[in-house]
Structure formats: structure tokens, C-alpha cells
Structure 1
Amino acid sequence: MGLIANYSCLSDANLKELKAMGSEEEEILESVEEWNDDDELLLDIDKMWDVLHFVLTGVGTDHKDDNNPLSQAVLGITAVEEISDYLAYTEHDKLADIVAALEQFNMEEALETFDMAACKEAELYPDIWDYDEEEEEIKDELLHDFEQMKRFYKQVLDANGNVLVSIC
């Protein structure tokens, strides 16, 4: 199956509840699943989260940059600690900076220098970098995921929501 990244709009009430849960992993994951079932603003970028972060920032997700809105777009800002899956959130007041950074980023230009060997060397997830014949398909998927992410963040900003990132 693999590690899949999902992004959802989180209401202020649900964010407050999440912050109050502490480290009760089962309760947190059940609540997140329930909130996602109720939410209409969702984004699923499947397994391309690590390479998308790499294209946007020049490094894999092992090198999260808390000061870079492009890194924050992929990984969120505040990680929920002490649970086995990756879960993080971004509060509404940070979304305008993320939207602006995504708007200013030229993905088509970045993909012109996309290099499968560099992805392999950086040990990015998923491990598909030996399939050179799939490079154009991967680039198309990255462009699609980027455009969907840009649209998602704008919609959440307009809805006065927060963003929840889960990678599991």
C-alpha cells in the first residue's frame, strides 16, 4: 500500500479538540478519520509527497524547513508528536503565506530540470527512480498534484479553515 499524503480542511473546533487530545494515538487517528469523512475539502496526493517537497524545496521531507512556506505546504507546520503516523496541522493565519509561495512558484520551470537520478540519490519516497521510461508520467503527476495543492490551499484559506496533513 505505501505511505499516502492526505490534506483536509480542519475547523477551528476540530483543531481545538486535536490540541486537547495529548498523545492518545488511537483517539487522534479515529477523530481524524471521522473529520475527513465529514469534510468536503480534501486533497490526496498519494505517494508523491516526498518528491513534491524535493521539487519545491530542493530537499526531501527528512529536511523539513519550518521557515519555508513551500515545505509547510507539504508537511504542515505543527507536528502532532508521539504518534506512529505523521500528522501535522497549519493554522489559518499561516495559510496566506503558503498560498502566496505556491502562486509564485513556477512548477513547469522546476520540472524542466527534474532528474530521476537526483531523486534516487536523495532516497526519495517512493522508490521508483530506476524507471526512466516513466519520467514524463511522473512529471505530469507532479504538475497535477502541485496544481491541486495550490487550489486546495486557496479553498481552505477562503473557507477560513486550518489544514490537517496526514501521511500514513
Structure 2
Amino acid sequence: MEMLCTLRSATEGQREALLKAPEHLEDFLDDEEDFGDTEGTRFLELDIGETWHGLQYLMTGSAWEGAAPLDFLVRGGEDVGHIPSDEGTARIFTPAQVKPLAAALQALSPNTLRSRFDAGKLQQLDIYPGLWDEPPDDADPLEELLSYFEELRRFVGQVAQRGHALLVHIG
């Protein structure tokens, strides 16, 4: 089963609604009409696919831990629950938690990420998806990760600028 990561902005009302009724998580993720939004603000969404674990490692130097707030792809926030249809989980970060995250991502140099990339080490640590030392002929895994990092940095910055919460779903 593929494990893909989607990040989505949420208004404070949506965040509270999800925490009160986590059974609506799948509806929130599938809803193109801004589930439960009474503020009329269009949501933001970013799909980073299978790169989430590689990004976690490059941002923190750890597969499953690391210092907050840069460990946000695998830890932190408040647990919203899981989605039975994909066995995924979701965590949500308050707007107050998103602001320092956006600042930390801005401060993180792509050169730091480059220096942490070692395909053999990622393979040894079983960093998902586990194809680091045998990438497809036409793909450069480091460049793909750096490209997704730039998208992630921009996205979290936009969420912070709007004063929204951030939902991280891996499933």
C-alpha cells in the first residue's frame, strides 16, 4: 500500500469541528466545497506524495523524530484520528503552531538538505518509499526532494499568512 502525504489548510472553525467529530475527517479531505467553512475562505492543499519521509529526514536528520517544529510531517499537532478506508492518520496544527513552522522552513537552507542526503543512508534507515539507491533512470531523488521542499515551504508560508491551521494526513 502506498503511503502518501497531503497537507491542507483549515480555518479555526474547521479545526474545532474536526476535533469534535473526527468521523468527518474523510469528508473534510474529500470535500471540494470547503467542509464546514463559514468564513468563505478557499482552502489550500498540497500533495507531497511519497516524498514525505525523505523530507522528514532531510529537514530533521531523523527518520521518526527530530526537533520541533520541523518534525511536523511525522509528529506533533493534535491527533484528529484515522481514516478506515486508507488506514491513514491525520494531525492538525493550530495557527499559532503554523507560524513558527513557516519561519523554521524559511530559515532552513536547501544546502542543509543537500548535505543530509545520502541515498545509502536513507535506504539503510528504511526511509519510505525505500527506493533511494535504485531510482528510476530519469529521476534524481535529491532534486525531486528539493523541489517538493520548495513547494512545502511556500505552502506552509501561505497557510501561516492566512492565519489558518494545518492538517497533515498520511495514508
Q: Would you say the 8 A contact 1:89–1:165 is kept in 2?
A: yes
**Which residue number in structure 2 is paired with residue 5 of structure 1?**
5
**Please, which runs of 5 or more residues in structure 2 have no aligned partner?**
35-41
Structure 1 residues 102 and 134: alpha-carbon distance in aligned structure 2, compared to 1, 3 A threshold = farther
Say whether the 8 Å CA contact 1:5–1:166 is kept in structure 2: yes
1:152 lines up with 2:155 in the alignment: yes
Which residue is 1:77 aligned to? 77
- TM value normalised by structure 2: 0.83
Q: Distance in 1 between matches of 2:100 and 2:27?
A: 30
Partner of 1:21: 21
1:31 to 28, 33, 39: 28
**Aligned mates of 1:134, 1:104 — CA distance in 2:** 32
1:108 shift after superposition = 2.5
SS in 2 for 1:164: strand
Corresponding position: 1:87 with 2:84:
no
Aligned residue pairs total 160
Task: For residue 29 of structure 1, report the CA deviation from its aligned partner.
Answer: 1.3
CA RMSD of aligned residues (A): 2.3
Once the two structures are superposed, what CA deviation does each residue of 1:119-167 show, in whole Å capped at 9, x if it has no partner?
0111110021231676971111111111111111111111111101111
Q: Alpha carbons of 1:109 and 1:16: their partners in 2 closer, same or farther (altered >3 Å)?
A: closer
* Paired residues for 1:44-83 under 5 Å: 44-60=47-63, 63-65=64-66, 68-72=68-72, 74-75=73-74, 77-81=77-81
Identity %: 24
CA distance 1:113–1:156, shift in 2 (3 Å): closer
